[in-house]
Amino acid sequence: GENVEQHPSTLSVQEGDSAVIKCTYSDSASNYFPWYKQELGKRPQLIIDIRSNVGEKKDQRIAVTLNKTAKHFSLHITETQPEDSAVYFCAASMRSGGGADGLTFGKGTHLIIQP
């Protein structure tokens, strides 16, 4: 089955700096890669996603890049703010025939924004 590795497990950055979280996946058939943000005691919420036919996607301060050859993808957050503090999860899944599939998650990155 799919295996997703995520690094680092904890990331501390100064407010206003950029943060980068990296993930690798094992199954070359995976073609959908979402990122979820989870605040303490809350549900995971999608912040951005990318499909395998796209190399990069951006949404305001958040961007995701995908390298299919190397089987890795990254989350970039620029101009970090205190409200960005949370645990971030990368995930991978395979969508065959237009349907859905369960997500395989990385272990998470605890992002701490220092004031």
Partner 1 sequence: DAGVIQSPRHEVTEMGQEVTLRCKPISGHDYLFWYRQTMMRGLELLIYFNNNVPIDDSGMPEDRFSAKMPNASFSTLKIQPSEPRDSAVYFCASSRGRRGRNIQYFGAGTRLSVL
How many residues of this chain bind partner 1 (CB under 8 A)?
24
User: Which of 21, 35, 66, 108 touches partner 1 by CB under 8 A?
Assistant: 108
Q: What is the DSSP letter of 71?
A: T
Nearer to partner 1, 42 or 58 (CB): 42
Which residues are CB-contacts of 39 (< 8 A; sequence separation ≥ 6)? 86, 87
Distance CA 53, CA 90 (A): 18
Cα 51 from Cα 8, distance rounded (Å) = 23
Q: Does 45 bind partner 1 (CB under 8 A)?
A: yes
Of 63 and 103, the one with the shorter C-beta distance to partner 1 is 103
Q: Does 54 bind partner 1 (CB under 8 A)?
A: no
